[in-house]
């Protein structure tokens, strides 16, 4: 499969055996009935510099770029024997398997942290809860000593901005730039599709936010929550959340995930769904005692730290795979038969 129109043009995917799969004909092109070609080899070739160059020749349009079948049929690909193709794929898949395993482990860690958050701060079964009688609040009964407050009482809500397009190397810098279109979500992210320069960051309404800032997309594709592992900027369609005194970023990240449904169903905007600052002001949340937040943050710290380590390992694995990819496909690195 190959994405064939729009901003995400040129992303390949291999449909696995027995995988349930649905796609929209207008947005994807599909390749089948291969002769002397392993489909996995084609997938990796499309990710390689030579494959991307051939795909670039097959696109039309500028405002809404797209591939055409006629131009794709004219692509030229150098094919080694099928046995060699399979050895190349096996070598690259070893990296992909490790990457996929890391991603599964990160998802498990995130799930564990979210369940623990719900246990403590939704069901109020935190250590010592027996000594906290319930009191009435706008959100129902909550533990004594806790408060029901607007979200903006526990977190600053900061806006972003897009750099001016006349800045040199506008999209060719080394600073990750977080936008709704390409935003990854979840535990520790570091790479987005676009990057800006230091100059670009200084000439927009955004700033360079430190790691563990909570990002949330707020226009068009709303409610994607991410926790960056590196300094990152963002555009005006996102918000950065920074906890006030006594509110850790990891606690804030899990609280924001818990509130996503509210944020998604309380949007404005005539053309696009939009979360505005007033949405955060109207959103009432439970504010625990500082000591409870601190204990919780310490308890989940190991989960977050392990997720960050796995994320960094994944970055290194991808870098190594991408370095080997063109060399293996071109035959520059020879693989012996088993």
DSSP states of 43-81 as a string? HHHHHSHHHHHHHHTTEE-SSS-EE-HHHHTT-------
pLDDT the model gives residue 166: 64
Q: Are residues 140 and 11 both part of a single domain?
A: no
Distance of CA 272 to CAs 160, 267, 295, Å?
18, 9, 40
Q: Are residues 163 and 270 both part of a single domain?
A: yes
Nearest to 28 by CA among 46, 45, 43, 13: 13
Q: Are residues 42 and 153 both part of a single domain?
A: no
% of the chain at pLDDT higher than 70: 87
* 315 assigned to some structural domain: no
For residue range 78-122, what is the model confidence (pLDDT) as tens digits?
899 999 999 999 999 999 999 999 999 999 999 999 999 999 999
Q: Are residues 10 and 144 both part of a single domain?
A: no
For residue range 255-267, what is the model confidence (pLDDT) as tens digits?
999 999 999 888 8
* 303 assigned to some structural domain: no
Position 334 pLDDT exceeds 90: no
Q: Are residues 139 and 255 both part of a single domain?
A: yes
The full DSSP string for 189-226 is E---SEEE-HHHHHTSS---BPTT-EEEE-BSS---EE
* 113 assigned to some structural domain: no
What is the arithmetic mean of pLDDT over 123-133? Answer: 94
Better-predicted residue by pLDDT, 213 or 180: 213
* 199 assigned to some structural domain: yes
* 299 assigned to some structural domain: no
Map 115-130 to HEC letters.
HHHHHHHCCCCCCCHH
Q: Are residues 146 and 75 both part of a single domain?
A: no
Please state which of the ranges 32-36, 39-43, 253-257, 330-334 shows the lowest mean pLDDT: 330-334
* 269 assigned to some structural domain: yes
Position 218 pLDDT exceeds 70: yes
Q: Name, in order, each residue with C-beta under 8 angstroms of 60's C-beta and a sequence gap of 6 or more.
A: 66, 67, 68, 71
Q: Are residues 58 and 158 both part of a single domain?
A: no
Q: What token pair was written down for 146?
A: 């806790």
Question: Average pLDDT over the chain, rounded to whole?
Answer: 87
CATH of the domain at 244: 3.90.220.20
Q: Are residues 48 and 168 both part of a single domain?
A: no
Quote the number of domains for the chain: 2
Confidence of residue 182 (pLDDT cuts 50, 70, 90): low
The one-character DSSP state at 32 is -
Tell me if 204 sits within 8 A of 163, measured CB to CB: yes
Q: Are residues 67 and 139 both part of a single domain?
A: no
Q: Structural domain of residue 223, as residue ranges?
A: 135-289
Better-predicted residue by pLDDT, 10 or 235: 10
Confidence of residue 245 (pLDDT cuts 50, 70, 90): very high
């Amino acid at each position: 499969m190959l994405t064939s129109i729009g901003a995400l043009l040129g992303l390949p995917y291999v449909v696995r055996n027995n995988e349930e799969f649905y796609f929209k004909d207008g947005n994807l092109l599909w390749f089948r009935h291969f002769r002397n070609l392993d489909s996995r080899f084609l997938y990796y070739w499309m990710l390689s510099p030579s494959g991307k160059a051939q795909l670039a020749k097959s696109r039309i349009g500028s405002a809404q770029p797209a591939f055409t079948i006629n131009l794709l049929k004219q692509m030229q690909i150098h094919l080694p024997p099928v046995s060699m193709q399979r050895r190349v794929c096996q070598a690259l898949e070893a990296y992909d398997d490790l990457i996929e395993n890391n991603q599964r482990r990160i998802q498990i860690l995130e799930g564990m942290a979210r369940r623990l958050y719900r246990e403590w701060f939704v069901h109020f079964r935190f250590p010592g809860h027996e000594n906290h009688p319930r009191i009435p609040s706008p959100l129902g009964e909550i533990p004594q000593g806790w408060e029901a407050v607007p979200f903006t009482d526990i977190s600053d809500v900061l806006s972003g901005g897009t750099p001016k397009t006349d800045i040199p190397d506008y999209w060719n810098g080394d600073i990750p730039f977080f936008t709704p279109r390409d935003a990854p979500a979840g535990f520790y992210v570091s790479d987005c599709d676009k990057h800006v320069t230091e100059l670009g960051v200084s000439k927009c309404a955004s700033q360079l936010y430190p790691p563990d800032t909570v990002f949330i997309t707020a226009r068009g594709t709303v409610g994607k929550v991410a926790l960056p592992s590196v300094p990152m900027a963002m555009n005006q369609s996102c918000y950065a959340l920074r906890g006030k005194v006594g509110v850790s970023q990891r606690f804030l990240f899990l609280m924001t995930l818990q509130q996503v449904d509210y944020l998604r169903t309380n949007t404005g905007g005539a053309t696009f769904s939009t979360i505005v600052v007033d949405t955060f002001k109207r959103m009432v949340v439970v504010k625990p005692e500082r000591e409870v937040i601190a204990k919780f943050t310490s308890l989940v710290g190991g989960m977050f730290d392990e997720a960050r380590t796995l994320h960094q390992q994944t970055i290194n694995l991808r870098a190594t795979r991408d370095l080997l990819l063109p060399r293996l496909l071109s035959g520059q690195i020879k693989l012996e038969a088993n």
